[in-house]
Structure 1
Amino acid sequence: MDCRVVVEAAVPVYDVETADEAVRIAISKTGEMLNPDLNYVEIDMGKRGCPHCGNELEPAFIAADEGLVALELEMTVFNVERDEHASRIARKEIGQRLQNIPLEVLVVETIEEAEEKEEAEDDSRETDEASDDEEALPEFEDLMDEK
């Protein structure tokens, strides 16, 4: 089974003034740490929410020109037995390169592309067979009767 794993990372950044600047620096810093070994990991801004009111917050918290940025790192793990196995592999692979950065697994989704492709091919074959029957050319005698 193949799984898509999303891991949240808390990346510290220094000498920043705005949340946008902190996010850009954090993405760049994380990309440098992951490449070239894990260049297949997708890096995106994290989503944070207020625990009291539920409003969405900026992905970076800035205080005294230092920031902590929430990033989401997404990777696909192949040939695993369970979701927990995929989660451990993703944390280990990413954690080895992002030392001293806290990680938390947010999402583990099973990828069932092979099964979906087979079903889509079966459906298209059935549709093609039905359309072949409908679009068959009329018999010669039928054409002659119309004139």
Structure 2
Amino acid sequence: MGDYVVVLEAPIIVKDVETNEDAINVAVSKVTKALNRENLDFVRVELGYSQCPVCGAHFESAFVIGNVGLVGIYLTLKVFNAQSIEHAERIAKAVVGKALKKVPLKVFEIRELKNSEEENGISLE
């Protein structure tokens, strides 16, 4: 059994926004409210970043066209006592997917915790 940090990537669509900053604020608020309704306050919500294919520079993953925004969000959580990396991925997607129905979740990163700290996460007994 291992302990893992799983980072999921989620695209969030927001309507009636005019700027990238508005889209980011609405998307983060929307995701945070959905997670809090399911008592998932241990999931960290962060703005995603994209990389320019030409110059390689990183920029915020927020795009607004016609008052509709698409915002990339990273969701980070710890999964304890998972049998494998794949098991940790399934657990994280199931837990977050409960709150964010109809939002496709993609694994951005999974890493094993070396010094397990029993704080804020999902544990399987």
| Runs of 4+ more than 4 Å apart | none
Unaligned runs of 5+ in 1: 115-147
Q: 1:69-108, aligned counterparts within 5 Å?
A: 69-108=71-110
1:56 to 58, 65, 71: 58
Report the residue type matching 2:68 in the other structure.
Answer: E
Deviation at 1:100, TM superposition (A): 1.5
1:23 and 2:24 equivalent? yes
1:42 and 2:59 equivalent? no
Deviations 1:40-98 (A, max 9, x none): 00000001112343222322011000001001000000101111110111011111210
Between the aligned residues of both structures, percent identity stands at 39
Unaligned runs of 5+ in 2: 117-125
The structure with more radius of gyration: 1
The total of aligned residue pairs comes to: 114
**What TM-score does the superposition give when structure 2 sets the normalisation length?**
0.86
2:23/2:62 contact within 8 Å kept: yes
1:14 and 2:15 equivalent? yes
**What TM-score does the superposition give when structure 1 sets the normalisation length?**
0.74
